[in-house]
């Protein structure tokens, strides 16, 4: 492992790897070390459903995700790896007048930002997915350019692309502390040695608060276990990812035919926990078979869990903190960091390399919690 680096990225998930790749590819920063406490895809990046969507309720998120989807469309060619990116759209379902109004407001924002999202009635939603039972559904929204990727090769693509550019990726390497001089970072201490550096990116997902605390920075993020399961492969029949805003159910069909999905559960005990539970399978199976009765006979092959990284206002924390020089945050993405990583990696790399502030990130700075400038985002699922 390098003993000196221009930038150290803490976290070898897709966010950290995207930042490292863009620093090397577009800004010529080659002395970069990415430290990952586990293996690649061992954290949230390898445990998510791979959804990529531009249907959000804020203009900032819609603009960012339009850019991110464009990067996804070109990813396989640029990285020379197949990520099975399939743009079948996202179909959101609303079961109350309150959710319908919120969905209409979000669709209005999306259309202002240039998306082709449209509101649908229950019968129109059923035309897109004939197998749905739309009993109780009052409205839906659909954007055809949203899609799904296979998460693992997406992570591997960034990792191999970064390595080709000279980035060092040190797996099974845990940060144990920092050496500082006043507000400046001088080195990162790990279980495999010390790396001298003046710039650190905290992209450790649900573990980000632990990393930040070593530098005296308090992040308001909290981990939240989220579970997913996958069925036996079926013949292709489902084009969009379907998401129910009432109970947080979502599911899609992979290119290999499996039905992959999850469901919200606010009663999960707090803490970093990636164990699976039978309670999840009960909740998910009940909700899924009520919405798509034909799936009642399908076999579940496996289930797993990962940790969402939640913030108090459902928006991420991105950019440099005030108290420590060149300590950059990229966390708190509410379980949606995977889909935002391409654009966040591109834009945050520019900030790190040039110091040029990104106006889209200014509202996501950590100081907003201290100043009481909390944000909002209605289109959170899972």
Q: 209-248 pLDDT, tens per residue?
A: 999 999 999 999 999 999 999 999 999 999 999 999 999 9
Which position has the token pair 């947080």?
248
Q: Write down the domain spans for the chain.
A: 7-47+152-221+313-371, 86-145+222-310
HEC string of 12-71 equals CCHHHHHHHHHHHHHHCCCCEEEECCCCCCCCHHHCCCCEECCCCCCHHHHHHHHHHHHH
> What is the sign, positive or negative, of the torsion defined by CA atoms of 50, 55, 61, 64?
positive
Check: CB of residue 100 under 8 Å from CB of residue 94.
yes
Taking the CB of residue 39, how many other CB atoms lie within 10 A of it? Answer: 11
Q: Could you tell me the CA-to-CA distances from 382 to 60, 93, 179, 300 in Å, in that order?
A: 21, 13, 38, 19
Rounded Cα distance, 55 and 312, in Å = 21
| CA triple 82-84-85, angle to 5 deg | 115
Q: 65-121 pLDDT, tens per residue?
A: 999 999 999 999 999 999 999 999 999 999 999 999 999 999 999 999 999 999 999
Pairing of strands 222-231, 51-52: unpaired
Which CATH entry fits the domain spanning 7-47+152-221+313-371: 3.50.50.60, 1.10.10.10, 3.30.1360.80, 3.40.50.980? 3.50.50.60
Question: Do 7-47+152-221+313-371 and 86-145+222-310 come out as alike in CATH topology?
Answer: no
The pLDDT of residue 269: 86
Which position has the token pair 């070109």?
74
The pLDDT of residue 382: 67
- Which CATH architecture group holds 86-145+222-310? 2-Layer Sandwich (3.30)
Nearest to 87 by CA among 243, 252, 248: 252
Average pLDDT (191-217) is: 98
Pairing of strands 175-181, 32-35: unpaired
């Amino acid at each position: 492992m390098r003993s000196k680096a221009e930038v150290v990225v803490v976290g070898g998930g897709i966010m950290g790897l995207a930042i490292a790749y863009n620093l090397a590819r577009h800004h010529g920063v080659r002395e970069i070390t990415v430290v990952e406490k586990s293996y690649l895809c061992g954290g949230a990046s390898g445990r998510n459903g791979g959804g990529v969507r531009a249907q959000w309720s804020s203009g900032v998120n819609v603009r960012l995700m339009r850019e991110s989807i464009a990067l996804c469309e070109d990813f396989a060619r640029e990285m020379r790896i197949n990520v099975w990116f399939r743009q079948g759209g996202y179909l959101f379902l609303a079961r109350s007048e309150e959710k319908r109004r919120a969905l209409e407001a979000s669709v209005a924002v999306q259309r202002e930002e240039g998306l082709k999202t449209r509101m649908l009635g229950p019968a129109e939603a059923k035309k897109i997915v004939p197998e749905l039972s739309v009993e109780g559904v009052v409205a839906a929204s659909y954007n055809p350019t949203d899609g799904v990727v296979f998460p693992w090769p997406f992570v591997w693509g960034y990792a191999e692309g970064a390595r080709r550019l000279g980035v060092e990726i040190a797996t099974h390497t845990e940060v144990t502390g920092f050496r500082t001089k006043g507000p400046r970072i001088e080195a990162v201490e790990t279980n495999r040695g010390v790396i001298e550096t003046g710039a650190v990116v905290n992209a450790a997902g649900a573990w980000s608060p632990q990393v930040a605390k070593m530098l005296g920075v308090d992040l308001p993020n909290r981990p939240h276990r989220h579970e997913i399961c996958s069925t036996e492969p079926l013949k292709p029949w489902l084009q969009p990812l379907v998401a129910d805003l009432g109970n947080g159910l979502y599911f899609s069909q992979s290119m290999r035919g499996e039905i992959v999905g999850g469901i919200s559960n606010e009663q999960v005990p707090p803490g970093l926990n990636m164990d699976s539970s039978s309670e999840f399978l009960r909740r998910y199976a009940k909700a899924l078979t009520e919405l798509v009765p034909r799936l009642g006979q399908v076999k579940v092959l496996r289930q797993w869990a990962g940790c969402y990284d939640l913030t108090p206002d459902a928006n991420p924390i991105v950019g440099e903190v005030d108290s420590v020089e060149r300590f950059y945050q990229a966390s708190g993405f509410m379980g949606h960091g995977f889909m935002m990583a391409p654009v966040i990696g591109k834009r945050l790399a520019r900030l790190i390399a040039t110091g040029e502030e990104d106006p889209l990130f200014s509202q996501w700075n950590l100081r907003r919690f201290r100043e009481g400038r909390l944000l909002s985002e209605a289109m959170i699922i899972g």
